[in-house]
Amino acid sequence: MTELEELERLSADPALWNNPENARKLMQRLSALQEDIEYWTQLRQHVADAIELEGLGDDDLGPELEDEASHLGSELDQAEFRLMLSGPYDRGNAILALYAGAGGTDSQDWTKMLLRMFLRWAEKRNFKAKILASTEGDGAGIKSVTVGIAGAYAYGYLRSERGVHRLVRLSPFDAAHRRHTSFALAEVWPDLEKEAEITIDTKDLQIDTYRASSAGGQHMQKNDTAVRVTHMPTGLVVACQDERSQGQNRETALRILRARLMQRQEEEHRKQINDLKGEHVDARWGNQIRSYILHPYQMVKDHRTDHETGNVQAVLDGELDPFMEAYLRATLSAD
């Protein structure tokens, strides 16, 4: 029995909805599998139609055959890219976190620019983005921000953005207007919601509440609605203040913690594999994945793929897909 047949059998069981959470996951998997099967079935039919058209040997069909071949080539490119997003969490939502690095106020401003870039990218894709927690910078920008991004394949795309992003520009915060280099770190996790793979023992948690405050330090709430969760075994700390109630902030913070623990688990697994291969993984802060140069020339270059463009403003306005796709294609080729 195929997975589709098994899922269809289970979905027809009246007892399925006795456990709504399991039922929801099963129906999501069934829907995704049906979508995949329909997509590949249609693609196979298009290929068969093109072969049949070519086999007719009619010279008058030359232009039509050329159009069909061009259309089919585009479809195959899309199919290849679809294969790159076949990871266990690629279809789902993502949690993006940005942290200012070396560079003082410039880096905090750069982190805010990156936030705008990713929000614009999400908007172009009709994804929903919500700021879950943020810490304002000293005078300008932001020190850190955590964003939930919901949309089909949000995590699959955004996982290409993990790493250090480097900006070179004439500093607007330098009275002498000298050139400065700023760094910001992007982290991305799958939004696991209530996935059962990660179990958190409440005895391992320290949960503190405090009053949420605005950028200027004014209290947004009279009650202690903001929540800070510390996972004692790992030392991971997650804070959330943007929801209206303490309970909502607690739930969001635990969801982010669950995602970070999953990422840690995946990183430990990759490290084990790399150790077996004898590879050295250097994860120092200064190892940028991409540079954004605004002076003395204009260029954005990804150092992992060598993909680059001179249209820096377009990238900062959210035109990230070419960089994401180049990274995913390179990753697929390496595998």
pLDDT digits (tens, 9 = 90+) for 40-75: 888 888 888 778 777 776 666 667 777 777 778 777
Q: How much is the pLDDT for 286?
A: 58
Of 127, 125, 123, 142, the closest CA to residue 94 belongs to: 127
Q: How much is the pLDDT for 335?
A: 58
Q: How much is the pLDDT for 62?
A: 67
Q: Is the pLDDT of residue 281 over 70?
A: no
C-alpha–C-alpha distance, residues 10 and 27, integer Å:
9
CATH 3.30.70.1660 segments of the chain: 94-191+289-334
Ramachandran assignment for 103, one of left (phi > 0), alpha (psi -120 to 50 degrees), beta (any other): left
Q: Is the pLDDT of residue 120 over 50?
A: yes
C-alpha–C-alpha distance, residues 61 and 202, integer Å:
69
3-state secondary structure labels for all residues of the chain: CCHHHHHHHHHCCHHHHHCHHHHHHHHHHHHHHHHHHHHHHHHHHHHHHHHHHHHCCCHHHHHHHHHHHHHHHHHHHHHHHHHHCCCCCCCCCEEEEEEECCCCHHHHHHHHHHHHHHHHHHHHCCCEEEEEEEEECCCCCEEEEEEEEECCCHHHHHHHHCEEEEEEEECCCCCCCCEEEEEEEEEEEECCCCCCCCCCCHHHEEEEEECCECCCCCECCCCCCEEEEEECCCCEEEEECCCCCHHHHHHHHHHHHHHHHHHHHHHHHHHHHHHHHCCCCCCCCCCEEEEEECCCCCEEEECCCCCEECCHHHHHCCCCHHHHHHHHHHHHHHC
Point out which residues pair with 207 in neighbouring strands: 229
pLDDT above 90 covers what percent of the chain?
A: 38
Q: Could you identify the residue written with the tokens 């050295």?
A: 280
Render pLDDT for 11-40 as a digit per residue (tens, 0 to 9): 888 888 888 878 887 887 788 778 778 888
Of 84, 275, 240, the closest CA to residue 147 belongs to: 240
Q: How much is the pLDDT for 218?
A: 44
Q: Is the pLDDT of residue 213 over 70?
A: no
Asked, as a colleague might, if the bond just before 296 is cis with ω within 30 of 0, I would say yes
The better pLDDT of the pair 319, 19 is held by 319
Cα atoms in the 13 Å half-sphere on the side-chain side of 90: 13
Range with lowest mean pLDDT among 89-93, 115-119, 265-269: 265-269
Q: With bands split at pLDDT 50, 70 and 90, how would you rate the model's confidence at 299?
A: very high
pLDDT above 70 covers what percent of the chain?
A: 86
Work out whether strand 179-190 and strand 163-170 pair parallel, antiparallel, or are unpaired: antiparallel
Cα atoms in the 13 Å half-sphere on the side-chain side of 10: 20
CATH number belonging to domain 202-277: 3.30.160.20
Spatial neighbors of 317 by CB under 8 A, at least 6 apart, are 117, 120
Q: Is the pLDDT of residue 222 over 60?
A: no
CB 26 within 8 A of CB 52: no
Q: With bands split at pLDDT 50, 70 and 90, how would you rate the model's confidence at 215?
A: very low
Render pLDDT for 127-183 as a digit per residue (tens, 0 to 9): 999 999 899 988 889 999 999 999 888 999 999 999 999 999 999 988 788 899 999
C-alpha–C-alpha distance, residues 302 and 320, integer Å:
11
CATH number belonging to domain 94-191+289-334: 3.30.70.1660
Point out which residues pair with 206 in neighbouring strands: 230
CATH 3.30.160.20 segments of the chain: 202-277
**How many CB atoms lie under 10 A from the CB of residue 309?**
15
